[in-house]
Structure 1
Amino acid sequence: MTRVNRAGLLGFRLSAVLAVLAATASAEPMHGIAMYGDPALPPDFVSLPQVNPDAPKVGSYRWGESGSFDSFNPFVTKGRPALGISTLTVETLMGRNYDEPFSLYGLLAESIDTDAGRTYVEFTLRPEARFSDGTPVTVADVMWSMETLGTEGNPRYAAAWKKIASMEQTGERSVRFTFNTEDRELPLILGLRPVLKKAQWEGKDFAEATMEVPIGSGPYTLASSELGVQVTYRRNPDWWGKDLPFNRGLWNFDEIRYDYFANPQATFEAFKAGQLSAYREANVAKWLSSYDFPAIQSGEIVKAEIPHGRPSGIEGFAMNTRRPLFADWRVREALILAFNFEFINQTLNGGLLPRIPSYFGNSFLGMEPGTPATGRELELLEPFRADLPPGAIEGYALPVSDGTQANRRNIRAATALLEEAGWTVGSDGALKNAAGEPFSFEILLVTGQDEMASVAEVYIEALKALGISARLNKVDDAQYKERTSAYDFDVTHYIRSLSLSPGNEQLLYWGSASATEPGTRNWMGVNSAAVDAMIAAMLESPDAEGFIAATRALDRVLTSGRYVIPIWYSDRSRLAYSAKLRYPERIPLYGDWTGFLPDTWWQAEQ
């Protein structure tokens, strides 16, 4: 049985979002904060709108994951961290409501204070906040966590730390951060920083991967683990925050366990055998054809389609522009032309999934493909006109094939672009440059990425029509992480989920400073002054309209930059799960995303 629930989503409209974003911001201590205006929930809210506040606290939940782990420190670059550590055992000053574009409410902090220009932020801790060992969460812990994460942690923490001019304790339970940069998102970013216990790390190298479990203040503690096999968490009966309105209806399982498998197929087989509680299916054709096994027929497992209102994000094959081979936009456009999306989509998905049109497609933040920039978008882009790739201002849309395997029209267009870029087909049928070097590259995937491997194989065959020699290389997840962190690849599978509140993380995804720094998420090597300027405009915008214009302009520059060969997206998640499990009637704005499964789910009482 398929359960489709659109409550809380069909009523979502841009006008409603703008009404929230345009509200007048308060400049006094509050229970919450929004990117623009005031948060939607009042100070006396009793629970988040997308939870069942009366959900029973019983049962267990098991999830399968491909790969392995060798660290319990998810806050640094080294190692492959175990799932759940950050989410289940560690808390932040503020918690996010995923039924709003970007609003936070007090978690470890009872209040937040900032001014109209957001030149500073001050948090006041709750007096009852405790780590799992019973010791209080202090201002010293907050200050140490902020500085250590910003200087020794994963690069994703560094950008915000560099924007802090000063950090000072202003009271027994209060801490203030003053900023040196105009950035409206900074108070929210700091509100979402994990708070760790300072005393635990004294005399230790925080930047190293470790199997020592961080002492956190979250709802769960680690119960058991087997290196690379499983990690199990048990709900802490003494959790200090169990009675907070923000937490009511969340974290309802007594036990949460993550099992690791060699590949997605092994994970799926374990789910079919009843070893796992739920499975998220990314292949729509498989969803329609492979879910007729006995547990489905008996009703032990049910299916659900969970809609969402978030952007499409970007997924596909990323081209590493640090490699001279992919430095020319004409080459990248030729490779996009050779990717026969319509044929591949029909072959693998029955043609049922739409193509990703742009990074912020499927949302009001996305550009309008093929149309020229106007108004505020044009004003933002105009200073960079001479350096922008073709289509950024005039309008760019992904090429469409005729759906046949030959893809002749696009192959001809690709050939012409390659010739302009200095690549011609020699007498041996191989595409070569003026130095006689062949056009050859590797597509890097993780072992077990069967669907993407199928896409790559079709693509590799199509590239032969251009005289291009491409090869597929599948490696284990440890080698894959090492190579992508060092940008040691030609082309690889790339996926970045994007929210309705893009901000500082965009610098890590495609800011110029992240193009050369190892371990960032800018795998393509985007190095564009226009991209940096659009992100800055997003962060500095005093109103929602300017923020939307800057995001759309950023979308134009990234999409016309032709860094990724996009594949498809879905406006819903497809979940199969044990009939014993339940989830709330109201689906949050973000759907099946962070904050949904297992956060809001529960097990029916027997």
Structure 2
Amino acid sequence: MSRSLTRILGLIASLFLAVPGPVAAAEADVLRHGIAMHGDPALPADFSHLPYANPDAPKGGRITLAIQGTFDSLNPLIVLGVAPPAVPDYVLQSLMMRSRDEPFTVYGLIARSAEMPDDRSSVTFNLDPRARFSDGHPLTAEDVRFTFELLRKFGKPFHRSSFGQVRSVTAETPHRITFDLSGSNDRELPLIIATMPIFPAHATDPDRFDRTTLTPPVGSGPYAITEVRPGERIVLKRRKDFWAEDLPILRGLYNFDEIRYDFYRDDNTMFEAFRAGLYDFRLEGDPARWATGYTFSRLLSGRTVRETVPIRLPKGMNGFVFNTRRPIFGDPRVREALGYMFDFDWLNRNLYYGLLTRADSYFSGSELSSTGQPADERERGLLAAFPGAVRDDFLEGRWRPPSPDGSGRDRSMARRALSLLSEAGWVIRDDVLRNERTGEPFTFEMLVSSSQQERLALNFAQSLERIGISARVRLVDNVQYWRRLSQFDFDMVQWVWPASASPGNEQRNRWSSDAADRSGSLNFAGVASPAVDRMVDALLEAKTREEFVSSVRALDRALLSGFYVIPLFYVGDQWVAYDADLRKPDRAPLFGPSIDTWWRPSR
């Protein structure tokens, strides 16, 4: 029996039974204007605009943004190529749109509403009949189904693994589509589907979708790409015929008539361009530059503004990542030993002007962090099935990253490192650390893609020389760097896994055993741990916030106990500099400043 017929018969039965009040209320609850990962959406169904947007912001003007690196594709949703975020951010739209002021909540966009039972075993989206692509074609349930199948087959590992859990997709009418999620036990899956960018079936070649392309796609979003200079520039212009201009969720957003992306080969050149006023908005990530570099004439004259904005999100993990697929890093004792040689206090004082904070969790600075927190009963129950997966010091919240004395030459840390290495079969011979059995020297390559990474890696390599380890630092261009990362062709890299307020399916792409062998995943460390797999499943199954926090903390403990990275540091605040002509709403959302809510006053 079809799902539509079942609903019709159910409605007829309810009319014959004439059941009052409570059943009618339950049926009304099925129709949702938004979906929250936990609890209910913060905004009511009749909200007029997002609380962090100015609905009266004027339209017009241009903003120029900068990206370090290059690009050889416009499709960032496939494995091949290097693509900027312009297409999914501004050209394509999703069924529902994420609020930047809530951990993970989506509200209607292409889909006016969603229907979903409490167990999230299915989700149905009711599309807005007004939705149109930029070429005038209506956006229908067939486009949604088409996109889903494309991304499930050709998309990046995140989409392939998430969408692989869907049992079936049914386009019931041109404006109604249902996804059967039964058996997935993944409460985030409806939100992942809701945020899927929609491609037009009539203007997308499925046989070439997985290949790089510089042809601007047709989309239903507020902008269209009007200029592409490979590796140099992308220009987008706001559409005059944009179908969703007056939707409440978009009021006060997308205010610039033109958005231009300029690309720069290295960060120093990009900063010099900002000093000269060649682009308008910059997020600064270099503490030394923030401390000493912002003394140029445009800032001193008031034509450029700089601000420090508090970050209210969890801080992700920034670390030197061991590729545990390499035999040299297969033993966790070796990985733990190398961590003793990283002197954060010395680096922070001498290279970063004391502006950084030591990373000590994959969710630092938040309630999701396990560091300093003894495991609660829920965590212990989850981890009990995996004896030995988490050491007692992690379980009790006693572990901290090694803390050398700040001299850059702490002998006690070196002795601890050598002791662990000796346990793992590595000994010093003629000032070189060698495998006790084969005599092979301990040597590896650190792959870097920027001068900042190179400076940090060289400093760490010098520290490792003190215990007989030879770490070669290799700087490569952006394209080669990404190609090697996607194929796990490296020994060690520096990487940052950002943390959201609602970790979810992306954790599978970062840590699952399946992702460890899947080209293009973000499981750079090669984590293949049944305990980690179960903790990721647990956080996706959590129904309450309390269950969710415990599951994430248990995952944090399992990852930290595996010593897959050497934790580095994070910036406690967000450093922003921008053209003084730009205006922004009075308050920033939870996720921090977004130029999508900014505007330039008309002159």
TM-score bracket for the superposition, by shorter chain length? over 0.9
Q: Structure 1's 508 and 535: CA in aligned 2 closer, same or farther, altered over 3 A?
A: same
> Residues of 1 paired with 2:598 and 2:239: CA distance?
17
Does residue 437 of structure 1 match 2:466?
A: no
Name the residue aligned to 1:460. Answer: 461
| Larger Rg computed on CA atoms | 2
> Residues of 1 paired with 2:602 and 2:239: CA distance?
20
Name the residue aligned to 2:572. Answer: 571
Does residue 165 of structure 1 match 2:167?
A: yes
Name the residue aligned to 1:53. Answer: 55
Letter in 2 for 1:111: S
> Residues of 1 paired with 2:525 and 2:510: CA distance?
9
Name the residue aligned to 2:132. Answer: 130
Gapped runs of 5+ residues in structure 1?
1-23
8 Å contact kept, 2:52–2:101: yes
> Residues of 2 paired with 1:495 and 1:604: CA distance?
36
Letter in 1 for 2:379: E
- Runs of 4+ in structure 1 off by over 4 angstroms are 24-27
Letter in 1 for 2:566: I
8 Å contact kept, 2:341–2:413: yes
Gapped runs of 5+ residues in structure 2?
1-25
> Residues of 2 paired with 1:400 and 1:294: CA distance?
40
Tell me how many residue pairs correspond in the alignment.
576
Name the residue aligned to 1:553. Answer: 554
Q: How far 1:26 moved relative to its partner?
A: 7.9
> Residues of 2 paired with 1:320 and 1:503: CA distance?
23
Name the residue aligned to 2:7. Answer: none
Q: How far 1:390 moved relative to its partner?
A: 6.1
> Residues of 2 paired with 1:322 and 1:578: CA distance?
46
> Residues of 1 paired with 2:401 and 2:549: CA distance?
22
8 Å contact kept, 2:150–2:206: no
> Residues of 2 paired with 1:154 and 1:347: CA distance?
40
Name the residue aligned to 1:9. Answer: none
Name the residue aligned to 1:240. Answer: 243
Name the residue aligned to 1:381. Answer: 383
> Residues of 2 paired with 1:322 and 1:232: CA distance?
41
Q: How far 1:438 moved relative to its partner?
A: 0.3
Q: How far 1:428 moved relative to its partner?
A: 4.5
8 Å contact kept, 1:26–1:38: no
Q: Structure 1, residues 86-105: CA drift from partner, whole Å, max 9, x if none? A: 11100000000010111100
> Residues of 2 paired with 1:389 and 1:373: CA distance?
12
Q: Structure 1's 302 and 177: CA in aligned 2 closer, same or farther, altered over 3 A?
A: same
8 Å contact kept, 2:431–2:468: no
Name the residue aligned to 1:81. Answer: 83
Q: Helix, strand or coil: the match of 2:346?
A: helix
Q: Helix, strand or coil: the match of 1:164?
A: coil
Q: Helix, strand or coil: the match of 1:412?
A: helix
Q: Helix, strand or coil: the match of 2:227?
A: strand
Name the residue aligned to 1:6. Answer: none
Name the residue aligned to 1:31. Answer: 33
> Residues of 1 paired with 2:544 and 2:436: CA distance?
49
Q: How far 1:417 moved relative to its partner?
A: 0.4
Name the residue aligned to 1:109. Answer: 111
Name the residue aligned to 1:320. Answer: 323
Q: How far 1:392 moved relative to its partner?
A: 3.7
> Residues of 2 paired with 1:351 and 1:432: CA distance?
38
Name the residue aligned to 1:490. Answer: 491
> Residues of 2 paired with 1:558 and 1:184: CA distance?
22
Name the residue aligned to 1:603. Answer: 600
Sequence identity percentage = 41
Name the residue aligned to 1:329. Answer: 332
**Worse-matched range after superposition: 533-542 or 197-206:** 197-206
8 Å contact kept, 1:329–1:389: no
Q: How far 1:25 moved relative to its partner?
A: 12
Q: How far 1:454 moved relative to its partner?
A: 1.4
Aligned match for 2:71, one of 69, 72, 75: 69
Q: How far 1:429 moved relative to its partner?
A: 3.5
> Residues of 1 paired with 2:67 and 2:141: CA distance?
36
Q: How far 1:156 moved relative to its partner?
A: 1.3
Does residue 400 of structure 1 match 2:395?
A: no
Name the residue aligned to 1:3. Answer: none
Q: How far 1:389 moved relative to its partner?
A: 5.1
Letter in 2 for 1:145: T
Name the residue aligned to 1:301. Answer: 304
> Residues of 1 paired with 2:538 and 2:405: CA distance?
39
> Residues of 1 paired with 2:133 and 2:339: CA distance?
51
Q: Helix, strand or coil: the match of 2:432?
A: coil
Name the residue aligned to 2:19. Answer: none
> Residues of 2 paired with 1:27 and 1:460: CA distance?
59
Aligned match for 1:229, one of 218, 224, 232: 232
> Residues of 1 paired with 2:45 and 2:374: CA distance?
44
8 Å contact kept, 2:432–2:441: no
Q: Helix, strand or coil: the match of 2:333?
A: helix
Aligned match for 2:188, one of 185, 188, 191: 185
8 Å contact kept, 2:390–2:557: no
Q: Structure 1, residues 8-62: CA drift from partner, whole Å, max 9, x if none? A: xxxxxxxxxxxxxxxx998411111101121010111111001111111111111
* 1:82-97 matches, cutoff 5 A: 82-97=84-99
Letter in 2 for 1:375: E
> Residues of 2 paired with 1:83 and 1:226: CA distance?
15
Q: Structure 1, residues 470-494: CA drift from partner, whole Å, max 9, x if none? A: 1110001111111100000000111
Query: For the aligned residues, what is the CA RMSD?
Result: 1.5
8 Å contact kept, 2:371–2:394: no
8 Å contact kept, 1:156–1:508: yes
Q: How far 1:427 moved relative to its partner?
A: 2.4
> Residues of 2 paired with 1:273 and 1:299: CA distance?
13
